[in-house]
Amino acid sequence: LAVSGSVSRQLHYREGMTQDASNSRAVPARPLARVEAWEDRSAWALFAASAIFFALSTWLLLEPGMPAWERNLMSFAVVALWLIFVLDYLIRLALARGARGPFFRSRLFDLSSLFLPFLRPFLILVYIWRLPAFRHGSGATQRARYLTTMVLFSLMFVYTASLGVWLAERDAPGATIVNFNDALWWGFTTIATVGYGDFVPITTLGRILAIGLMMGGIAVIGVTSATLISALTEHARKRVAEDEER
């Protein structure tokens, strides 16, 4: 939930441009307009990079027995992509000169995800949210933006929690979650409130992560339901307005 709140605070920050009447020169109406312009230009490339980063990181973690040369190559690619994310952050920080405070507050999750490994999968959400096709759209587009982000957040949330539980449980005596496939199955049955009981965490850390996943499932269902209700309500209002015009 803390991750969800942090992502939400970042994703709601907006900037714009205005015209200086005295010299007909475009100046930022709000201090981060240059940052947003850069994000629009780099969004697609960084989205692709974050997806590759996620795939390679997962592969490295789940395939410890791969040949050394293959592991070294993939590790180099992961580090190179991470440096690209760092460079992107530094460029945006430079573009935010004179407004570093708002920049840090609105993009705190970007900075956190660069140094906290368990947050890195959520980089995909950040870059999807910044895609120009989503950022500059109608009300329907914005709802699709929220729904897409929430679905992907759910998947990343289950992945991260399942990975954490697997790492906590795999070497514990008597554990039932001893491989990532079982952990992922447990994660989806838990967030869906099914809970078959075939796999259960037995360590303290595993159970703490399980509680977080359960609470996150409640939040995800609530937000998704609210988005769908909003879309249905607007559709009904349009139909009523059309009937009244006839």
Question: What pTM does this model have?
Answer: 0.66
Decide if pLDDT at 97 tops 60: yes
Q: Residue 82: helix, strand or coil by DSSP?
A: helix
The answer to whether 187 touches 162, Cβ cutoff 8 Å, is yes
What pLDDT digit, counting tens, does each position of 172-212 carry?
Answer: 888 888 888 889 999 988 887 776 778 889 999 999 998 88
How far from the centroid of its chain's Cα atoms is residue 176's Cα? 29
Decide if pLDDT at 72 tops 80: yes
Q: Residue 28: helix, strand or coil by DSSP?
A: strand
What pLDDT digit, counting tens, does each position of 49-59 carry?
Answer: 888 988 888 88
Query: How many Å apart are CA 100 and CA 88, to the nearest integer?
Result: 15
Average pLDDT score over the chain = 78
The answer to whether 49 touches 78, Cβ cutoff 8 Å, is no
Residue 90 pLDDT level (bands cut at 50, 70, 90): very high
Residue 83 pLDDT level (bands cut at 50, 70, 90): very high
CA distances from 170 to 5, 57, 93, 177 (A): 30, 19, 41, 6
Residue keyed to tokens 């109608």: 138
